[in-house]
Structure 1
């Protein structure tokens, strides 16, 4: 019968590799990982954070006011709002709460439509997006998290560097997340694989739609180009920064009324609630990832949950994991 090596004749390794050091929650990561806890210069880093996130939006508003009627038209704003809502909900309702966390089950046409809408946000193909986000939850704010703001430690310089990393720097790292490991269910789904393959075409479509609509509404190249600028490029950039702010700001600034796992610093940040369609109620999400609603307390607007509720009433989604008072209370800090 087969047997293993004879213990008496198998030499023990002379220099066994030491186990990896245990993450202490404050140190910079080893080559692949994150780190939490903050030191004194909180006011400075909050100011820098506000400048990074708020100033571009203020400049954008000023440009819109100055250029109204010349390089921006009312139709551009309407198109931008409509496409921002469609693609943003594709990310939050489709990519995130549905495909990543299984907060509900959708009928096939809705599942495909939401995946396609999310792909038109220019945030990557659906399978790669889901795999990366599942990895983030597996290693939140500790080594292995692809975009933790604590990657470089908890001293002031490390926090500022980590904020930039969590917001956009991680996108430029060659740190591929294995879809085979983190999203095998989507790799096995023929419809989702087709949407993932169509990602380049959907990126073209998300720019072609405002360009074509601008042409049809205004009848000139100028109208088509301003629609492409505002309802295409700027709309995509705004949604990018809102999504990235959930990665960065919602792990550094805000309230933590719910208990999360060790080292997980996810927060609730109310100023981003509407722009993120409820995703910035991030602390509850990390306390209860499969919940279809993230804003569970009084006054916490959650447009994504409202859309899921509507789809449920239409019979287009089912098995929705709505939070119960008992479940919510059990997670309070």
Structure 2
């Protein structure tokens, strides 16, 4: 593989250029609800209803699939083909998000050769979490305004009292998806918009969503030889796998800002935590406190016993010569950020 003739510029980890904080009507004190940031956008009833319908379908459909899965399991066992396909696709799409979308494209923790960068963007798009450019823009906005006005999915949006925290937990986990609060790619991801490969992957997002469902269906049919095998593979390796990865990702947004340990200093109001039970399922993303303390670090789990599969994959790519300029944490960088 050869490197791109015009590699992407290294993105900033915190506030992108030209992204000042919104001007709230009153200062944010860190404990109350987020101030109102201005008049609401003009009503677009048709567009808003379509957005909510599509979001609801993506969120609810996997749970319908889970209900069907329970019905199918009544009196029978899930087949080994379904398990293997679900595991392989979970790994492929999950690492596409964590290694590709997040540590590479959003934060510039490494530079990938052009074919690998594009392949990771395709794999991440097959997670059903949105097109690559929109995903990166939203996450950069989250880092620019973590847990303060401007953050698209902070659990502290409604304050720090019990009722506000419960409401904020729902908002940060899934409710923010229904707000139709778009993030400007021109403002937060101009480097991705300038890359023709990534623009093509972003345009192909609907087709990649179909592909991520067609693959298990087709492989189930090819391996099992019947439409029943195809449907069970679609159910487990398609819809249920998507639902699991969704909720693991959303749990990093929600739980990893509410519960867990905070051994590293972060910016004011930033309450990102380390939550070990999610480490394996999230491929190391739940070592979230270190990530917010040092966003460009290619490794998030830096202490003894902190499993970080995404960092291991980046290390493998580095040894193969497929990534370079990897920003590995050094003892000095880690020590400087400890509380």
With the shorter chain as reference, the TM-score category is 0.7 to 0.9
Q: Is the 8 A contact 1:64 1:72 kept in 2?
A: no
- Residues 1-333 of structure 1: pairs in structure 2 closer than 5 A: 20-32=25-37, 67=73, 70=76, 72-333=78-339
What is the distance in 1 between the residues matched to 2:74 and 2:85? Answer: 15
| RMSD over equivalenced CA pairs, Å | 2.1
Q: Is the 8 A contact 1:95 1:130 kept in 2?
A: yes
Summarize the Cα distance change of 1:66–1:232 in structure 2 as closer, same or farther, 3 Å threshold. closer
Q: Is the 8 A contact 2:24 2:37 kept in 1?
A: no
Summarize the Cα distance change of 1:72–1:184 in structure 2 as closer, same or farther, 3 Å threshold. same
Aligned partner of 2:10 in structure 1 is: none
What is the distance in 2 between the residues matched to 1:28 and 1:200? Answer: 36
Q: Report the alpha carbon displacement of residue 29 of structure 1 after superposing the two structures with TM.
A: 1.1
Q: What is the CA deviation profile of residues 243-292 of structure 1, one whole-angstrom value per residue up to 9, with x for unaligned ones?
A: 00000000000000000000000000000000000000000000000000
State which structure, 1 or 2, has the greater radius of gyration over its C-alpha atoms.
Answer: 1
What is the distance in 2 between the residues matched to 1:238 and 1:315? Answer: 32
Q: Is the 8 A contact 1:71 1:226 kept in 2?
A: no
Aligned partner of 2:54 in structure 1 is: none
SS where residue 103 of structure 1 aligns? coil
SS where residue 309 of structure 1 aligns? helix
What is the distance in 1 between the residues matched to 2:241 and 2:146? Answer: 29
Summarize the Cα distance change of 1:296–1:265 in structure 2 as closer, same or farther, 3 Å threshold. same
What is the distance in 2 between the residues matched to 1:32 and 1:120? Answer: 34
What is the distance in 2 between the residues matched to 1:253 and 1:260? Answer: 15
SS where residue 177 of structure 1 aligns? coil
Q: Is the 8 A contact 1:115 1:195 kept in 2?
A: yes
What is the distance in 1 between the residues matched to 2:282 and 2:199? Answer: 26
What is the distance in 2 between the residues matched to 1:191 and 1:141? Answer: 33
Q: Report the alpha carbon displacement of residue 19 of structure 1 after superposing the two structures with TM.
A: 7.6
Q: Report the alpha carbon displacement of residue 69 of structure 1 after superposing the two structures with TM.
A: 8.0
Using structure 1 for the length normalisation, give the TM-score.
0.84
Q: What is the CA deviation profile of residues 193-213 of structure 1, one whole-angstrom value per residue up to 9, with x for unaligned ones?
A: 000000000000000000000
Unaligned runs of 5+ in 1: 1-17, 34-55
Q: How many residues align?
A: 291
SS where residue 198 of structure 2 aligns? helix
Q: Is the 8 A contact 2:155 2:168 kept in 1?
A: yes
Aligned partner of 2:50 in structure 1 is: none
Using structure 2 for the length normalisation, give the TM-score.
0.83
Unaligned runs of 5+ in 2: 1-22, 39-61
